[in-house]
């Protein structure tokens, strides 16, 4: 239905389904996917984040412009993970803003159904972007809505407290601790990476998976420069019962 609505408004549109395997409401996993694709899709791309669900009191869609691309999503604290850079635009789409968009787009008769608000809200905003409307002038720029997120790692002088944000198809656990943050806080010091309440620990960073013997745990910075833990020829998430939200802690030593 959503694709049909998009095509009815913009017949020339090209729609690409990026990932249908993310479980409903697992917005943390969706934010990780969005972060990665923002680096490879061309400028002007419009991404619809449809994992979470809005239509709650005081929760509104957001229009975010970052690195020349657009993201439409319901307000969600996980959106702080989509980029290390602040957005050029973060517009809260309140009913007043949406009414202005409808009026400027010549679509005043559009009605939003509370049970499926995305069906009209998101396509209308895509149309507004595609039409070149001056979206910056429709409401205040509010970057703090995504730049102050509880899903960002907590940094202290000797520790980084992070969380698992994605489990890949191999059962590897990817954290929200970036290579840059690790290097900045670590300053070349020795370290230990703790999993599951300090019960399991790793004190070496691999450059590749197969540097470690089969069945052993390892840590590395993956292709998107996030700290990842894995077991060679095994499934660390299943073995240690890791899931999105599980804690990963790094402690540095003098």
2-147, what's its fold?
Answer: Rossmann fold (3.40.50)
Helices (H), the chain: 2-9, 27-37, 95-105, 118-130, 144-147, 179-186, 236-240
The separation between CA 78 and the C-alpha centre of its own chain, rounded to angstroms, equals 6
Q: What is the DSSP string of 152-215?
A: SPEE-SSEEEEEEEEE-TT--EEEEEEHHHHHHHHTT-EEEEEETTTTEEE---BSSGGGS-TT
Q: Taking Cα atoms as reference points, which of 34, 99, 104 lies closest to residue 73? A: 34
Three-class SS of residue 253?
strand
Own/partner pairs, 99-108, CB within 8 angstroms, 24+ separation:
100/138, 101/125, 101/128, 101/133, 101/138, 104/128, 104/133, 105/131, 105/133
Q: Report residue 95 as tokens.
A: 């009913």
Kindly indicate the confidence band of residue 221, based on its pLDDT and cuts at 50, 70 and 90. Answer: very high
Q: Do domains 2-147 and 154-253 have the same CATH topology?
A: no
Domain boundaries, the chain: 2-147, 154-253
Burial of 168 (0-12, 13-18, 19+ CB in 10 A): middle
Helices and strands, counts by H and E, the chain = 7, 12
Rounded distance between C-alpha atoms, residue 30 and residue 137, angstroms: 29
State residue 178 phi and psi, 5-degree precision.
-85, 160
Q: In whole angstroms, give the CA distance from residue 137 to residue 155.
A: 36
Residue where the block lists tokens 């998009």? 6
What does CATH list as the number for 154-253? 2.40.30.90
Q: Are 53 and 25 in contact (CB under 8 A)?
A: yes
Closest of 160, 182, 184, 171 to residue 226, by C-alpha? 182
Q: Which residues fall within 8 angstroms of residue 137, CB to CB, at 6 or more apart?
A: none
Which of 12, 29, 8 lies closest to 20 in space, CA to CA?
Answer: 29
Q: Is the pTM of this model over 0.85?
A: no
Pairing between β-strand 69-74 and β-strand 46-48 as defined by DSSP bridges = parallel
- Residue 151 pLDDT: 86
Report the half-sphere exposure of 48 (CA within 13 A, side-chain side): 20
The answer to which of 112-121, 159-168, 169-178, 239-248 has the lowest mean pLDDT is 112-121
Tell me the per-residue pLDDT of 44-91, one tens digit each, with 9 for 90 and over. Answer: 999 999 887 766 778 899 999 998 999 999 999 899 989 888 999 999
Mean pLDDT along residues 222-246:
94
The yes-or-no verdict on residue 231 having pLDDT over 70 is yes
Q: What mean pLDDT value characterizes the chain?
A: 91
């Amino acid at each position: 239905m959503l694709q049909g609505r998009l095509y009815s408004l913009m017949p020339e549109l090209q729609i690409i389904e990026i990932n249908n395997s993310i479980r409903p409401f697992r917005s943390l996993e969706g934010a990780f996917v969005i972060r990665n694709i923002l680096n490879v899709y061309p400028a002007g791309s419009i991404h619809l984040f449809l994992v979470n669900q809005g239509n709650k009191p005081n929760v509104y869609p957001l229009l975010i412009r970052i690195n020349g691309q657009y993201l439409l999503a319901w307000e969600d604290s996980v959106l702080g993970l989509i980029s290390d850079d602040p957005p050029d635009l973060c517009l809260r789409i309140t009913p007043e803003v949406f009414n202005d968009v409808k009026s400027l787009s010549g679509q005043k008769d559009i009605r939003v159904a509370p049970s499926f608000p995305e069906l009209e809200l998101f396509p209308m905003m895509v149309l507004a972007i595609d039409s070149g409307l001056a979206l910056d002038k429709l409401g205040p720029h509010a970057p703090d809505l995504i730049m102050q997120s509880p899903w960002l790692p907590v940094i202290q002088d000797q520790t980084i407290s992070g969380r698992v944000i994605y489990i890949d198809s191999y059962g590897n656990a990817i954290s929200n601790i970036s290579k840059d943050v690790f290097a900045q806080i670590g300053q070349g010091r020795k370290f230990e990476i703790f999993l599951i309440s300090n019960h399991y620990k790793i004190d070496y960073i691999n450059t590749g998976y197969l540097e470690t013997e089969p069945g052993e745990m390892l840590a590395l910075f993956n292709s998107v420069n996030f700290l990842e833990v894995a077991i060679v020829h095994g499934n660390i998430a299943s073995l240690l019962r890791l899931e999105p939200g599980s804690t990963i802690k790094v402690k540095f030593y003098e």
